[in-house]
Amino acid sequence: MSSCVAALMLALAALATLGGCASAQPGRVPDSHVHFNRTFDAAVGALVDQKMTITQQDRRHGSIDAKAGSAVIAVTLRTLPDGAIRVAFEPQGDSSADPGLLQRVTDAYNARMSNLSVLGGFKDSSSQRGPVPCPSGPAFCK
């Protein structure tokens, strides 16, 4: 009987740890399938959109540092084996000064990437929400 209880407790503990995996990490954005330079420019633009000062940028190594007051965000871009670009926004320094800054920067980056209309079957909606699906499919998108 005690082995059944121990197995049940172990199963419950395993299920409890899965709850923490459900949400995306702050600063995580989808991998880009756009050219590296355009992805880099979108990341810089997102930081500037949020009135951050670029303190360091190295296109060759895919790194950007920006600050706004005492808040600092470090951005890294890495090319994956399939050619996609992995972009990561990491808070550095005092992130408590502006707790929503990281989310605003990632939202600005995602908006810039969606405005590139790189996804087939989408068209520009001329709004802040980004591209919208074409009702008749990708072949009929203008």
The candidate with the shortest Cα–Cα distance to 34, out of 77, 75, 73, 76, is 77
In a domain, 36, yes or no: yes
pLDDT tens figures, 36-50: 999 999 999 999 999
For residue 108, give its domain range: 24-113
The amino acid at residue 63 is S
Q: Flag whether pLDDT at 72 surpasses 60.
A: yes
Contact 65, 52 (CB under 8 A): no
Number of independent structural domains in the chain: 1
In a domain, 102, yes or no: yes
In a domain, 47, yes or no: yes
In a domain, 41, yes or no: yes
User: Residue 111: what are its φ and ψ, rounded to 5°?
Assistant: -65, -45
DSSP-assigned letter for residue 25: P
In a domain, 14, yes or no: no
Contact 93, 76 (CB under 8 A): no
How far apart (Å, rounded) are the C-alpha atoms in residues 55 and 57?
A: 7
- pLDDT at position 33 is 82
- pLDDT at position 6 is 53
Which tokens hold the place of 141?
A: 């998108």
CATH number at 31 reads 3.30.310.80
In a domain, 98, yes or no: yes
- pLDDT at position 41 is 95
pLDDT tens figures, 1-58: 555 555 555 555 554 544 444 444 566 788 888 889 999 999 999 999 999 999 999 9
- pLDDT at position 28 is 72
3-state SS, residue 84: coil
In a domain, 85, yes or no: yes
Q: Flag whether pLDDT at 68 surpasses 50.
A: yes
Which tokens hold the place of 59?
A: 């296109």
How far apart (Å, rounded) are the C-alpha atoms in residues 46 and 58?
A: 16
Q: What's the chain's length in residues? A: 142
pLDDT tens figures, 85-130: 999 999 997 777 788 999 999 999 999 988 775 544 444 444 445 5
